[in-house]
Copies of this chain bind each other. A is one copy, B any other.
Amino acid sequence: MPFQYNEFYNEKTGLTVGINKQLFHEKTPFQTVEVFETDTWGNLMTIDGMVMLSEKDEFVYHEMMSHPALFTHPNPVDVLIIGGGDGGTAREVMKHPSVKRVDMVEIDEAVVRASKLHMPEVGDFDNPKLNVLYENGLTFVDGPEKEYDVIIIDGSDPVGPAVDLFKKEFYEKCHRCLKDDGVLVSQTESPFVADYHKSIRSVHKAISELFPVAKLFLTFIPLYPTGMWSMAFASKQVDPLSDEVLEKIVEKLPAFESTLKYYNKDMHSGAFALPNFVKEIIR
Given the known interface contacts A11-B40, A222-B226, the answer about A261 and B275 at a Cβ–Cβ threshold of 8 Å is: yes
Inter-chain contact A16/B15, CB cutoff 8 Å: yes
**Pairs across A and B, CB under 8 Å, 25 listed:** A2-B12, A10-B18, A10-B40, A11-B40, A13-B38, A13-B40, A13-B41, A14-B15, A15-B16, A192-B220, A220-B226, A226-B227, A227-B228, A257-B276, A260-B276, A261-B275, A261-B276, A262-B276, A262-B277, A263-B275, A263-B276, A264-B275, A266-B274, A269-B273, A270-B273
Q: Report the Cα distance A14→B262, complex, angstroms.
A: 22
A265 → B minimal CB distance (Å): 9
Q: Which chain B residue has the least Cβ–Cβ distance from A274?
A: B266
Inter-chain contact B18/A39, CB cutoff 8 Å: no
A92 → B minimal CB distance (Å): 13
B residues near A57, Cβ cutoff 8 Å = 192
Partner of A192, one of B2, B222, B228: B222
Q: Report the Cα distance A106→B227, complex, angstroms.
A: 29
Query: Which residues does A use to contact B, with CB under 8 Å?
Result: 2, 4, 6, 8, 10-18, 38-41, 57, 60, 192, 218, 220-222, 226-228, 257, 260-264, 266-267, 269-277, 279
Inter-chain contact A16/B13, CB cutoff 8 Å: yes
A220 → B minimal CB distance (Å): 4
Interface of A is mostly: mixed
Inter-chain contact A39/B17, CB cutoff 8 Å: no
Q: Which chain B residue has the least Cβ–Cβ distance from A220?
A: B228
Inter-chain contact A16/B14, CB cutoff 8 Å: yes
Q: Report the Cα distance A150→B244, complex, angstroms.
A: 39
A228 → B minimal CB distance (Å): 4
Inter-chain contact A227/B218, CB cutoff 8 Å: no
Q: Which chain B residue has the least Cβ–Cβ distance from A54?
A: B13
Q: Give the interface centre of A38, A192, A271 by most chain B CB atoms within 10 Å.
A: A192
Q: Which chain B residue has the least Cβ–Cβ distance from A217?
A: B270
Q: Which chain B residue has the least Cβ–Cβ distance from A7?
A: B16
A282 → B minimal CB distance (Å): 14
Closest 8 CB pairs of A and B: A227-B227, A12-B18, A270-B273, A11-B39, A266-B273, A270-B270, A222-B226, A10-B40
